Amino acid sequence: MVNKQSLEIFRGKRVLVTGDTGFKGSWLCLWLHQLGAQVYGYALPPKNEDDHFNLLGLNNLIEHVTGDIRDLAAVKAAFDKFQPEVLFHLAAQPLVRFSYAEPKLTFDTNVAGSVNILEAARQCESLKAVVIVTSDKCYRNNEWVWGYRENDELGGHDPYSASKAAAELVFSSYQDSFFHARPGFGAATVRAGNVIGGGDWAADRIVPDAIRALRNGEEIFLRNPNSTRPWQHVLEPLSGYLLVAANLLQDPKCYSGAWNFGPNAQSIRTVKDLAEMIVAAWGSGRVESAPQHNAPHEANLLHLNCDKAHQLLHWQPKWEVARAIGETVAWYRGVHQGQNALEISSRQITQYMES
Ligand SMILES: NC(=O)c1ccc[n+]([C@@H]2O[C@H](COP(=O)([O-])OP(=O)(O)OC[C@H]3O[C@@H](n4cnc5c(N)ncnc54)[C@H](O)[C@@H]3O)[C@@H](O)[C@H]2O)c1
């Protein structure tokens, strides 16, 4: 169960987060900062002025170093400087459609970049717990109705999905060859699906696309209206990542390995359902289906079986899809109306922990 007590272990811990300038990384850093951790970030610079990292003023709350994970010397220098006890690796090229345009960049970042992070981790004596973020898309997708389990076959049709499956294999090799035998050291990969929440401005994602359209008074056009996704608020998988790391610090061997974090069945909805719920929460707007028949392949049906996290970590999702959408729209509306993003995000983290 995630609450303040179960995460108390992070107080005073030196925690390195790669990808801190991104959507999920910025939320994770703020949460760790609230828990009293000493947080260090390593990533490329934020892309836009209104990125969550900038709106939070995260630069003032954590120590951020701008760097590329494809540069092993720079990665090692950051580990040497920070001497982290805990590592969360989130830096990645995270977009399926962009991966069709830039397959090499995607593999270089998500596979070779992850090798560099694991290599630096292998040589970093202060480290005790490592959490590598991959994706639910790392599984070979058979478009079947059952949820994927951690021991199901890896695969990936598009370059992004394949790069995340490859990162899993790289991790597995480092785990078996080096980490497994290291005393007092635990390492895990974490696999989650589509997350929503305030502060995401990525192209080709349904929530940022919808919010942009609503703010401009335009219709929301849906490429894949009938695709089914396991929607969850960004704080849900992050709570799982934190719980895994907290458990790795206490019993590294027992909690090492792969973990799925997905929502319950009622939060598995079509893209069209989600868009209509966003419009209802915003209070105005229109949804239009505009399927692209020559669009690159994207998975239609994909969800996770999370029995392992439920049973062994006692992790459960807290915010079902309606609450997740409500909190997300409230965040964007608040910021649109001039409210302070740091206050909104901090309040949502506190409310999540108290839920
Ligand atoms: N957002 C989702 O729905 C989702 C779903 C499943 C998995 N994930 C995974 O979660 C992680 C974070 O995703 P996100 O949505 O926050 O993405 P994002 O695009 O918002 O953030 C990506 C981060 O990675 C950094 N980065 C990219 N290339 C880099 C490089 N070469 N060197 C250093 N830093 C680099 C960026 O600067 C940024 O900080 C990724 O690993 C992604 O694959 C995301």
Q: What is the pLDDT of residues 332-355, one digit of tens each?
A: 999 999 999 999 999 999 999 999
Q: Is the CB of 135 under 6 A from ligand 1?
A: yes
Nearest CA to ligand 1 atom 10: 90
Q: What is the pLDDT of residues 111-159, one digit of tens each?
A: 999 999 999 999 999 999 999 999 999 999 888 888 999 999 999 999 9
Question: Measured from the CA of 25, which atom of ligand 1 is nearest?
Answer: 16
Which residues are CB-neighbours of 246 under 8 A, at least 6 positions away?
Answer: 6, 7, 9, 10
Q: Record the pTM.
A: 0.95
**64 in Cβ contact with 19 (< 8 Å):** no
The dotted CATH code for 8-354 is 3.40.50.720
pLDDT of amino acid 78:
98
pLDDT band at 51 (very low <50, low <70, confident <90, very high): very high
pLDDT of amino acid 142:
86
pLDDT band at 293 (very low <50, low <70, confident <90, very high): low
Strands 228-230 and 268-270: antiparallel
The CA-CA-CA angle for residues 145, 151, 157, to 5°, reads: 60
Q: Is the CB of 91 under 6 A from ligand 1?
A: yes
Q: What is the pLDDT of residues 162-211, one digit of tens each?
A: 999 999 999 999 999 999 999 999 999 999 988 999 999 888 788 999 99
> Which residue from 45, 48, 44, 51 is spatially nearest to 23, judged by alpha carbons?
51
Torsion of CA 246, 268, 140, 90, to 10 degrees: -40
User: Across all residues in the chain, what is the average pLDDT?
Assistant: 94
Interval 263-270 mean pLDDT = 84
Q: Is the CB of 230 under 6 A from ligand 1?
A: no
Query: How many angstroms does the Cα of residue 30 sit away from the middle of ligand 1?
Result: 16
Query: How many angstroms does the Cα of residue 92 sit away from the middle of ligand 1?
Result: 4
Q: Return d(Cα 205, Cα 191) in angstroms, integer.
A: 18
Q: Is the CB of 324 under 6 A from ligand 1?
A: no
Pick from 90, 99, 304 the residue to mutate for probing ligand 1's pocket: most ligand atoms within 8 Å of its CB: 90
**114 in Cβ contact with 187 (< 8 Å):** no
Nearest CA to ligand 1 atom 44: 94
Question: Measured from the CA of 19, which atom of ligand 1 is nearest?
Answer: 39
Q: Is the CB of 263 under 6 A from ligand 1?
A: no
Q: Return d(Cα 203, Cα 208) in angstroms, integer.
A: 7
Q: Is the CB of 24 under 6 A from ligand 1?
A: yes
pLDDT of amino acid 297:
67
Residue 93's alpha-carbon distances to 86, 102, 159, 266, 288, in angstroms, are: 22, 10, 10, 29, 29
pLDDT of amino acid 300:
60
CA 81 to chain centre: 25
pLDDT of amino acid 81:
96
> Which residue from 319, 68, 87, 314 is spatially nearest to 189, judged by alpha carbons?
87
Helix intervals (H) in the chain: 23-34, 52-56, 72-82, 96-101, 103-107, 113-122, 159-174, 206-215, 235-250, 252-255, 271-282, 307-308, 321-336, 341-354
* Cα dihedral 136, 265, 219, 196 sign: negative
Q: Is the CB of 75 under 6 A from ligand 1?
A: no
